[in-house]
Amino acid sequence: MSYGFLDIAATPSVRAAQVAMGSDGVWQDFKGDRAFDAFTANEAAFIAERDSFYMATVSETGWPYVQHRGGPRGFLKVVDEKTLAFADYRGNRQYISVGNLAADDRAALILMDHAGRARLKVYAHVEAVALDADPTLVQLVDEPGYKGRPERILRLHLVAFDWNCPQHITPRFTEAEVAEAIRPLRDRLTALEAENVALRARVAPDHGEA
């Protein structure tokens, strides 16, 4: 069965909120882009550019926990059209997400592109994979030169995803993005400085003997 993000997210209480706010007619019979249950080349390219994301899990008490995950650009790998994976590096050793997933394997991810004002939301079932259990997967998620120490691999089985509109996303830029954006200015400044040095040498007074 193919279904969309809203089929999962729109619980009875969500429907009630939509009715109360007068938006139920917009979503009740929504058909557009409903079967977002397989990644396309568009999502794969977007994911490959991310160096962080947020992952939400829920504990046995019902409390949600949202964790930031970061690493080298592209550390979240698209294994295939329905699977993601990443190396789970050692952190503060609280293991809240890992523990939550052991009790309930459902997770929600948000991937942000602040510069492009885009946001990808993902529902997935998550399984922990031991480092010695799947050498091929280990090779896929390995990031040579990265200082983090992986303790396991988290493999995510896609249930549904959705794109958010850019409204209210404040543009922000990484150091690398800023450096790339101003590179032409730096190149031009370097050229002007060299030109200035040449001009100064050409007009410098001759202090030789008459």
Q: For the chain, what percent of residues have pLDDT higher than 70?
A: 91
Quickly count: other Cβ atoms within 10 Å of residue 207's Cβ. 5
Quickly count: other Cβ atoms within 10 Å of residue 65's Cβ. 14
User: CA 188 to CA 193: how far, in whole Å?
Assistant: 9
> What contacts 85, CB < 8 A, 6 or more positions away?
76, 77, 79, 129, 137, 140, 141, 153, 154, 155, 156
CB 142 within 8 A of CB 112: no
Which pLDDT tens digit goes with each residue over 57-95? Answer: 999 999 999 999 999 999 999 999 999 999 999 888 899
pLDDT band at residue 30 under the 50/70/90 scheme = low
- Summarize the confidence of residues 7-28 as an average pLDDT: 81
User: CA 45 to CA 118: how far, in whole Å?
Assistant: 13
Which pLDDT tens digit goes with each residue over 144-190? Answer: 989 888 999 999 999 999 998 888 888 888 888 888 889 999 999 99
pLDDT band at residue 25 under the 50/70/90 scheme = confident
The more confidently predicted of residues 1 and 172 is 172
CATH topology of domain 36-164: Pnp Oxidase; Chain A (2.30.110)
